[in-house]
Amino acid sequence: MGRVIALIVVMTVPVAVHGQERDRADDLTDEPSRRAAADGSFMALTMPARVGSTKAFAWGLGGYDSSRKGPIADSVAEARLWGPIALRVSATYSNDTDRMRPSIGARAQLLRQDRHGIDGSLSVFFKTEGFTEGEGEIETFASLGRTFDRVTVTGNLVYGQDPEGNERDGEVRLSLFHASGRFWYGLDSRARFAIGTQHGKAAAVEPTFDAMGGPAATMVVGPIALFAEVGPSAFSLASATRVGVEAFGGMGSAF
């Protein structure tokens, strides 16, 4: 009798564990906003390394940066086109030009953690100076990320240049967040710097360096994701450097 009970226990425990894991996977499958949050899609500063986990997602945010003495506004919408390829459009408020700068581009996932041990994607965007200006710059993002149990680390290397070569800049972005049920919390950061000597209008209005980052958190309630971030910021233009605090909050959803 004891052997029979032991056999039943041995057979039942793996099934129960597998069932729990399947339930957790089903929960994420049934709730696209949680899946997008797990990818880091609601991180405002860092581009996620995963592409196409949901059909589409969108978010918007608003806040204030005291180093620039101006508002922060950003919005993003991304939709999967085919397989690991997605279309992404955004509009970001630029305190340098006092206008929204829209961008459009494509993202492609080239590496997957289940196959290659790491997630990796390449993204290319065209960002204009404004909604009515044709002039702009081309930005290329290389994103790498890996999930360790409940912790996800993502890094970006970014290069941007206008067609005339008057403005060239590079960026380093990094995020680290921990998953806990419907909450994701950690750090999100971005550092941007001019490459070489700026020419033309860029020399007068474009910063030589700026950075922001700090603690960030996301909470998913049904189909809605709420997120916020607060932390230090720095801004350099010509010989002047300002230091302050940035804070913003936003909401989004995935489908």
Cα distances (angstroms) measured from residue 201 to each of 68, 126, 166: 19, 19, 8
- What average pLDDT does range 244-251 have in this prediction? 98
Partnered with residue 108 across adjacent β-strands are 85, 122
Structural domains in the chain, CATH included, are 31-254 (2.40.160.40)
- For residue 228, the surrounding DSSP H or E stretch is strand 224-237
pLDDT score of 201: 56
Residue type, 238: A
Measure the CA–CA gap between 78 and 56, rounded to whole angstroms.
Answer: 5
Q: 192-219, pLDDT tens digit by residue?
A: 998 876 555 555 556 789 999 999 999 9
Six-digit token string for 112: 């997957």
**Residue 129 in 3-state DSSP?**
coil
What are the respective helix, strand and coil percentages of the chain, to the nearest 5?
A: 20, 60, 25
Q: 19-70, pLDDT tens digit by residue?
A: 433 334 444 557 999 999 999 999 999 999 999 999 999 999 999 999 989 9
Measure the CA–CA gap between 214 and 191, rounded to whole angstroms.
Answer: 12
Q: Is the pLDDT of residue 16 over 50?
A: no
Q: 82-100, pLDDT tens digit by residue?
A: 999 999 999 999 776 678 8
- What average pLDDT does range 170-199 have in this prediction? 92
Q: 222-243, pLDDT tens digit by residue?
A: 999 999 999 999 988 777 899 9
Q: Is the pLDDT of residue 7 over 50?
A: no
How buried is 138 (Cβ within 10 angstroms: 0-12 exposed, 13-18 middle, 19+ buried)? middle
pLDDT score of 142: 98
Contact 32, 54 (CB under 8 A): yes
CA dihedral 234, 95, 105, 28 (to 10 degrees): 60
The chain-wide mean pLDDT, for the chain, equals 86
- For residue 35, the surrounding DSSP H or E stretch is helix 32-39
Six-digit token string for 98: 């006092």
End-to-end Cα spacing for the chain: 52
Q: 116-151, pLDDT tens digit by residue?
A: 999 999 999 999 876 555 578 999 999 999 999 999
8-17, 44-53, 172-181, range with the lowest pLDDT:
8-17
How many degrees, rounded to 5, is the angle at CA 32 between CA 178 and CA 17?
65
**Of residues 255 and 208, which shows the higher confidence score?**
255
Measure the CA–CA gap between 135 and 162, rounded to whole angstroms.
Answer: 8
pLDDT score of 240: 84
Q: How many residues does the chain have?
A: 255
